[in-house]
Amino acid sequence: MAIIKNILITGGAGYIGSHIAEILVTNNKKIFIIDNLSTGFKKLINKKASFYNLNILTTNKLKKIITENKIDTVIHLAASLSIGVGEKYPKIYYKNNVMGTESLLKACKNSLVKNFIFSSTAAIYKDGQKIVNENSKIGPKSVYGKTKLKAEKKIIINCKKNKINFGILRYFNVCGASDSGKIGLISKGDHLFKNISSAVMTKKPLIKINGNDYNTFDGTTIRDYIHVSDLADIHFKVLQKISKLNKSITLNCGYGKGLSVKQVVNEFKKQIKKKIKINFLPRRSGDMEMIIADNKKLKKFINWKPKYNSIKRIVKSCIDWEKKFI
């Protein structure tokens, strides 16, 4: 078992990356961040990290950073991540997510890198399965999901060849913000918690919900949400474990519990004590009805006990973070 010392995080200026950096720094790891700030933000970059404003397609520069800093562990999060934009510009998504991953893997070849963690997604599963485990049917609907699946495959092949332990983490819906109050989600997009949080800061909150005619108990879609601090902690624990056991693994990262869009909105309503107007829109193409993680494998592998898995706590952390913007 090799000691984990110098960790490179691609996409470390992003929402999830900044939370992982925070945990690693607390645990006295030396971290290096590569981010081209395409979705990340300078203010989310951990003060103790060495930062490179760089695109991961530049293999030679990556190689230099990995060699010079004796990187032993890579956490690869850098990606284009909007489902909508991906549908419109598939080539760009393919280049950034698949070729970007290839470039990084190439840079890790013949280096000291021993562990490789990758951020994958629940979007690679075939629709209509409701509860999925790691062996459930694969069949991404979106371009984004397809590029992540391709990247997974490249990682498995390359890491096996180069004797690198890999941990592929399939994220479910990530939400919430760190208790430190320093980091959280900045970009608005198709993120439910972010959109509600910023809406409820306005005088007359209005929320648009896509579809209330799904075959679920209240008609809105159901997702498995996971607090970003729990997710970041999973990265650290999985990393230690794969390094210790010299093993590679693919894991679902979710609480194994579903919440409907309406349930989430209601929790916000309760906490901010304001009326929230809801506009129901037609279904959005590409949306799954319901997807929940079977997380038995994760629980067993790292003996995982989530800390932030109450909707109350998640919503509160979202509101606290959002208040910083007004």
Partner 1 sequence: MKKKIFITGSSGFIGFNLSKFLLEDDHVIHGYDGITDYYDIKMKHDRNKILKSFKKFSFTEGMLENEFLLEKTITNFKPDVIIHLAAQAGVRYSLEKPKIYLSSNINGTLNIIEQANKIKVSHLIVASSSSVYGANKKIPFHETDKTQTQMSIYAATKKSTESIAHSYSSIWKLPITMLRFFTVYGPWGRPDMALFKFTNSIINNKPIDIYNNGEMYRDFTYIDDIVKGVVSLILVPPTNEESIDKGDSLSPVAPFRIVNIGNSNKVKLLDFIDAIESCLEKKAIRNYMPMQKGDVEATWANTDLLKKLTGYSPKTNIKEGIKSFIDWYLSYYKK
Whole-angstrom distance, CA of residue 238 vs CA of residue 225: 19
CB of 38 to partner 1, least distance (A): 5
Q: 305 to each of 19, 230, 231, 300, how far by Cα in Å?
A: 18, 9, 11, 10
By CB under 8 A, residue 276 contacts partner 1: no
Which range of residues in 85-93, 241-249, 265-273, 291-299 is near partner 1 by CB under 8 A? 85-93
Q: Does 58 bind partner 1 (CB under 8 A)?
A: yes
Residues 6+ apart with CB under 8 A from 43: none
Residue 138 DSSP one-character state: B
**C-alpha distances out from residue 227 to 88, 317, 318, 320, Å:** 29, 9, 10, 14
Given the complex with partner 1, which of 59 and 248 has the nearer CB atom?
59
Say if CB 292 and CB 224 are below 8 A apart.
Answer: yes
Q: How far is the CB of 225 from partner 1 (least distance, A)?
A: 24
Query: Which of 68, 215 has the CB closer to partner 1?
Result: 68
CB of 37 to partner 1, least distance (A): 5
Per CB under 8 A, 187 contacts partner 1: yes
Residue 144 catalytic? Answer: yes
Q: What is the DSSP letter of 161?
A: H
CB contact set of 315 (below 8 Å; sequence gap of 6+) = 193, 264, 267, 268, 271
**Could you say whether residue 51 binds partner 1 (CB under 8 A)?**
no
Options 29, 48, 95, 106; binder of partner 1; rule CB under 8 A:
95
Residues numbered 103-132 forming contacts with partner 1, rule: CB under 8 A = none
Tokens read off for 175: 């939400």
Choosing from 94, 144, 171, 214, the catalytic residue is 144
In the complex, the smallest distance separating the C-beta of residue 85 from partner 1, rounded to whole angstroms, is: 6
Sole window of 25-33, 37-45, 201-209, 262-270 interacting with partner 1 (rule: CB under 8 A): 37-45
* Residue 104, C-beta contacts closer than 8 angstroms, at least 6 positions apart: 10, 56, 59, 62, 74, 76, 78
Does the protein bind partner 1 through residue 310 (CB under 8 A)?
no
147 binds partner 1 (CB under 8 A): no
With a CB cutoff of 8 Å and minimum separation 6, the contacts of 49 are: 9, 12, 21, 25, 31, 32, 33
Binding part of the chain for partner 1, among 57-65, 175-183, 238-246, 312-320 by CB under 8 A, reads 57-65
- The residue ranges that bind partner 1 (CB under 8 A) are 36-39, 42, 53-55, 57-58, 61, 80, 85, 89, 92, 95-96, 187
Residues with catalytic roles: 144
